[in-house]
Chains A and B, each alone.
Chain A
Amino acid sequence: MTHSTSTDTALSDSHSQIRAQFPTLSQMLGDYPLCYLDTAATSQKPQSVLDAMAQYYLNDNANVHRAAHQLSARATSSYEKVRDELQGFINAKRREEIIFTHGTTESINLVAYGLTPQIAAGDLILIDTAAHHANIVPWQELAKRTGAIIKPIPLDKDCRLDRHAYQVLLALKPKVVALCHVSNALGTVNPVVELVQQAKAQGAITLVDGAQAVAHLSLDMAAIDCDFYVFSGHKMYGPTGIGVLYGRFDKLDLLTPLLTGGEMIKRVSFDGTEFGSLPNRLETGTPPISEVIGLGAAIRFLQQHLTPDVQAHEAELLQYLQQQLRALGDVHLYAAHSDNLGAVAFNLGDEHHQDVGILLDQQGVAVRCGHHCAMPLMQSLNLKGCCRASIGIYTNKADIDRFIAALASVKELLL
């Protein structure tokens, strides 16, 4: 990094203040301080998120949308306020375009199931090779139900989506194109604005998995212009058990509900039932109320702290991580580009990723080791698996240095 200036010092002070809001991070694991580099699996939670959820249970606990009493009115208003906040957070046109789900996986399932009547035998579904299993398996099930055909969009030699192959596949007029915004295993970033535009020009319905983007980027649905965008609360400093399905109103309104029951209906009789309107039509049953309220606090946290300066700091930190891994020697990096976000995938020499993970864990370092729920991607890299170190808004240079020192000890033991 460059020499310290007063701006750097100011940034470093404000960064320590950000980190101090995450209670989990200041703990010892045996003789070692926790070095948490598994944010891509789940992020830690700031105190404000924990407080918001506790506040709801301590003061406002009641079911929503049944506001015959004051508590329920309070709960409903906090809950629905988060929908408005999300609309602003991702720049959606209407609040009804925000559907609360239990996570990215459920969001994709809602879309893949909901499209069933619109898909016919022989229709083509294109899937990004870098996709997480959550963005593969629901489409395979849709193909089973309808006789549609799935084709993977291959990667080029740099592990980026192969733009030429993409054009060739788009010329086949696919019905659906499923992309990831940021690869969970590698941290590579897709130019989603262009990819979506090209897919839509061929008449495809587009879905973008933003699970690994939302904690690092400012999202703008008007700019990305996809039909569906999905993400999880727990990867953006919010609670587990809450996710978001954004959909363009007309596309969302055509989805067949995957789950049916209370809340989503207008009228029920034994002669027939009429479904309600968006967003409730796709949100049956009692929703995860405290999680939605926690997500609201996470959004406010990000709006306050994920400034362009902090985004630049995260990008610098990831590059520093890549550099230090290269400098250590005997480390294979996979698709470690300078414009990646959040994560770096690596193996140490020919050592098994699990051995490396066990020995890092001995030193308080938390990384993910395995196939990262992206087996097709691992197959295309000809890997059984790898280790992934991933950073978040709270990660600092000391974390990276500690991790590199721990990996140096592992190297000494294994090589």
Chain B
Amino acid sequence: MTLPIMPAATEFDYSVEDSSSLLARFEQAPNWQERYRQIMLLGKTLPSLADEFRIEAAQVKGCESDAWLYHIERDAKHYFLADSDARIVKGLIGLLLSACHGKQSDEILAFDPSTYFKQLGLEGQLSPSRTNGLHALAKAMIDAVKP
């Protein structure tokens, strides 16, 4: 990605919940209310992007809400900063980050979003015909690590 501005490298230093522990938690969710409560809680744990970084060049197209994505590579690992002005979308981004943030290229390239969201009980949210932009965000993260 070549963007006019980038957040400071230290902004990318945050850890995410491991995707296997996420999956375990989502499997226990008895209903959609609990799943979406978890999604929103997850969104709250993520760093926010300052207004100056909420720029069009960093926007992921295909979202009805606005979503922005930044990526850096350090020591052969990939780090992402992403935000949305919609809370559920931000939480859904959090699910993707659990699978991709701080991972190596081969792990991210092997990541299959459709299986992952199916396991989370959220397969309906990933369709490209949805306007939540999740499909576009997953594609943008995977594309970012492609050589």
Q: Restricting to B21-51, which residues have a CB under 8 Å from any CB of A?
A: 32-33, 36-37, 40
Asked if A134 is at the interface of the complex by the 8 Å CB criterion, the answer is no
- Do A352 and B86 touch (CB < 8 A)? yes
- Classify the interface of chain B: helix, strand, loop or mixed: helix
Q: Which residues of B contact A352 (CB under 8 A)?
A: 65, 85-89
Cβ of B54 to closest chain A Cβ, rounded Å: 13
Counted as pairs of residues, one from A and one from B, with CB atoms less than 8 Å apart, the total is 43
Interface set, chain B 45-85, CB cutoff 8 A to A? 64-65, 85
Residue of B nearest to A29 (CB): B124
Which of A352, A358, A369: most chain B Cβ within 10 A?
A358
Q: Decide if B132 touches A413 in the complex (CB within 8 Å).
A: no
Q: Does A156 contact B (CB under 8 A)?
A: no
A202 part of interface (Cβ distance < 8 Å): no
Asked if residues A362 and B32 are in contact (CB atoms below 8 Å), the reply is yes
Are B87 and A355 interface neighbours, CB within 8 A?
A: yes
Cβ-defined partner of B87 (8 Å) among A362, A385, A414: A414
Chain B contacts for A384, CB-based, 8 A: 85
Contact of A385 among B40, B64, B88 (CB under 8 A): B64
Contacts of B65 in A (CB 8 A): 352, 354-355
CA distance A101 to B33 in the complex (A): 45
**Residues 83-100 of B at the A interface (beta carbon under 8 Å):** 85-89
Q: Residue A409 at the B interface, CB < 8 A? A: yes
CB pair A354 B64 closer than 8 Å: yes
Chain A residues, CB < 8 A from B105: none
B110-143 interface bits toward A, Cβ cutoff 8 Å, 1 = contact, 0 = none: 0000000000000001000001100000000000
Please determine whether B64 and A355 come into contact, CB atoms closer than 8 angstroms: no
- A359 in the interface (beta carbon within 8 A): yes
Cβ contact within 8 Å between A370 and B33: no
Give the total of B residues in contact with A, Cβ under 8 Å: 15
Q: Which residue of B lies closest to A371 (CB)?
A: B64
Enumerate A313-367 residues with CB–CB distance to B below 8 Å. 351-355, 357-359, 362-363
Q: Least Cβ distance of A401 to chain B in Å? A: 19
Q: What separation, in Å, do the CA atoms of A409 and B32 have in the docked complex? A: 11
| Closest CB in chain A relative to B32 CB, distance in Å | 4
Partner of B64, one of A359, A363, A369: A369
Most chain-B Cβ atoms within 10 A of its Cβ — which of A355, A363, A370, A384?
A: A355
Q: Which of B32, B36, B37, B132 contacts A354 (CB 8 A)?
A: B132
Q: How far is the CB of A386 from chain B (nearest CB, A)?
A: 12
- Nearest-neighbour CB distance to chain B for A322, whole angstroms, equals 25
| Shortest Cβ distance from A32 into B: residue | B32
Closest Cβ of chain A to B10, distance in Å, is: 29
Chain B residues with CB under 8 A of A359:
36, 88
B-side contacts of A363, CB under 8 Å: 32
Chain B contacts of A353 at CB under 8 A? 64
Instruction: Give min CB distance, B35 to chain A, whole Å.
Output: 9
Residues of A within 8 A of B33 (CB): 409, 413
Residues of A contacting B87 with CB < 8 Å?
351-352, 355, 414
**Shortest Cβ gap from A174 to chain B (Å):** 35
- Write out the residue numbers on chain A whose beta carbons fall within 8 Å of the beta carbon of B37: 413
CB distance from A21 to the nearest CB of B (A): 28
**B40 / chain A contacts, CB cutoff of 8 Å:** 413-414
Q: How far does the alpha carbon of A384 sit from the alpha carbon of B87 in the complex, in Å?
A: 15
In contact, A355 and B32 (Cβ under 8 angstroms): no
Q: Which of A351, A357, A413 contacts B36 (CB 8 A)?
A: A413
**A355 CA to B37 CA, complexed, in Å:** 12
A355 touches B131 (CB 8 A): no
CB-nearest residue of chain A to B66: A384
The closest CB in chain A to the CB of B92 belongs to A358
Q: Which of A354, A357, A385 is most buried by chain B, counting CB atoms within 10 A of its CB?
A: A354
Cβ contact of A362, chosen from B36, B64, B86, B131, cutoff 8 A? B36
Point out the residues of chain B lying under 8 angstroms from A354, CB to CB. Answer: 64-65, 86, 88-89, 131-132
Instruction: Give the Cβ gap from B73 to chain A, nearest Cβ, in Å.
Output: 31
The 9 lowest CB-CB distance pairs between A and B, nearest first, are A352-B86, A362-B32, A355-B88, A354-B65, A354-B86, A354-B64, A355-B86, A358-B88, A370-B64
Taking A355-B87, A359-B36 as given, write out 6 further A-B residue pairs in contact, using a Cβ cutoff of 8 Å, ordered by the A residue number. Answer: A358-B125, A363-B32, A369-B131, A370-B131, A384-B85, A385-B64
Could you list 23 examples of A-B contacts with CB < 8 Å?
A352-B65, A352-B86, A352-B87, A352-B89, A353-B64, A354-B88, A354-B89, A354-B132, A355-B65, A355-B86, A355-B87, A355-B88, A358-B125, A362-B32, A362-B36, A369-B64, A369-B131, A370-B64, A370-B131, A384-B85, A385-B64, A413-B36, A413-B40
